[in-house]
Amino acid sequence: MSPAPRVGRFLGALALPTFALALGISVLTTYAPLLLGEATSSAGAIGIAVGAEGAFALFLPLLIGSLSDRTQSRFGRRIPYALVGVPLLVAPLAILPFAHGYAETVALVSLFFIGYHIYYPPYQALFAELVPATHQGRAQGWQGVMRGLGLGVALVAGGLLLSVWTPLPFLLAAAAAVLATVVLVREVRGKTLAPVAAPDVPRVPGPGVLRLVRERPDVRAFVAANALWELSFMGLKTFIVLFVVKGLGESVGTASAVMGVVAGAYVIAAFGAGRLADSIGVHRLMRVSIWVYGVGLLVGAGLSSFGSFLIGLPLIALAGAVVMTLPYGILVGITPAGAEGALSGLFGFSRALGAVLGPIVVGVAIDVLAPVFPATNGYGAMWIAIGAPILLSLPFLNALKAEEPEAVEAADPVVAAIDDLALAA
């Protein structure tokens, strides 16, 4: 087998839990409201139950990520958290369709989010710990593809499975999480690839979260930039259907088709963005994508017909997918050895911060600026609110001083190391 397929196999196996986690959280957040609707007639109560993720996401990643830097076990530093987290998120998925009371359902949803945020930061840190900098773009491309596929399967197949038997999508998501974790443990158990350190040099815990934030301006810049990117994404995801339906006067079916285009562009861009980033540099590709995406979003504020909206949608969706695929690859470039978990926790925290603020900021912008956009019933303001944060992130991106690796040939010793790691599994 040639080196390239071996590298691809390893990166694919490492990214597989991303598919399972995206599938699980998408099934839960999309279809749990239907179950909650049987237990309560209050939309606010349903929103509070599903929105509980924000409460956990703002503190658990910071705690768990840092703890994983200091964990020693026969499974390594990161895998124990996956082994603890997977039953905590699988059990709620399996039990939730059979729950009847509101309190019981809320408890299960909360338990899922606890398990998710115990699992994810240490798992994400594996990409910084095991993948050489020369392959980080490709690794993030794999994750982007898996994330897009998980979301797509949940939204498309989930509805069909739900009509066959209500528990079916939940049970399949639970099974996917278990199988993906088995593959993950099999691939990385007891293995560490540290390209910057000699094999016989023990890896010691790096600086903690507070020290990193206090002493590293580049870390602070990344947290700010990533929060702005996530704010824009969550604002778009929350209001895009309302824009198409109430702003442009189209049907819900048309809005679903638009979402399909966006999801398809996400998978395509994620697949290509990783290799391109490894070739030309992740920072360079991000800067170009941010300009295209941010300006494109601002132009969208002036559109009031569905036809004109469709013309620019594919290009904007592709640029946006690149912006949402590569951030962790940037973070890896500024991660000190031994602090992969701490920075992975900060990554989760910054995303959660943006996710909490995004719907609020965009919603307020639509209310306040509605008179300026009468042609779209005020919803044109959405594009200003999600475009401005993208462009505002540029100074923070420019403040990051991570070195960009040159493209390497397969014969490079680091690539050979990752090949050996894949073959040893």
- d(CA 266, CA 319) in angstroms, rounded, equals 9
Tokens 């039990």 locate to 95
C-alpha span between 222 and 397 (Å, rounded): 7
Q: Quote the pLDDT of residue 193.
A: 43
pLDDT for residue 418: 42
Query: Which phi-psi region, left, alpha or beta, contains residue 249 (left: φ > 0; alpha: ψ -120 to 50)?
Result: left
Per-residue model confidence (pLDDT) at position 102: 86
- Cα separation, 344 vs 328, in Å, equals 8
Other CB atoms within a 10 A radius of the CB of residue 189 amount to: 12
Alpha-carbon 360 to chain mean position:
20
Report the interhelical angle of 136-164 vs 252-280 (nearest 10°). Answer: 160
pLDDT for the residue numbered 194: 42
The structure tokens listed for 152 are: 């797509």
Taking the C-alpha atoms of residue 180 and residue 235, their distance in angstroms, rounded to an integer, is 30
At residue 298, the pLDDT reads 95
Longest CA–CA span in the chain (Å) reads: 67
pLDDT at 303: 84
Amino acid 43: pLDDT: 60
What structural domains does the chain harbor? 3-192+408-424 (1.20.1250.20), 211-399 (1.20.1250.20)
What pLDDT, on the 0 to 100 scale, is given for residue 401?
59
Token pair for 268:
């395509």
pTM, two decimals, is: 0.78
For residues 394 and 290, the answer to whether their CB atoms sit within 8 Å is yes
DSSP 8-class letter at 409: -
pLDDT digit of tens for each residue in the chain (425 aa)?
Answer: 444 556 778 888 899 999 999 999 888 877 877 777 777 777 667 767 766 677 788 889 999 999 999 888 887 889 999 999 999 999 999 999 998 788 888 899 899 999 999 999 999 999 988 888 788 888 888 998 898 888 878 877 877 788 789 899 999 999 999 999 999 998 886 454 444 333 334 455 667 788 888 888 999 999 999 999 989 988 887 787 778 888 888 886 777 677 777 777 777 877 788 888 888 888 889 999 999 999 999 998 888 888 888 888 878 888 888 898 889 888 888 888 888 888 898 998 998 888 888 888 888 888 899 899 999 888 899 999 999 999 999 999 998 854 444 444 433 444 444 444 433 43
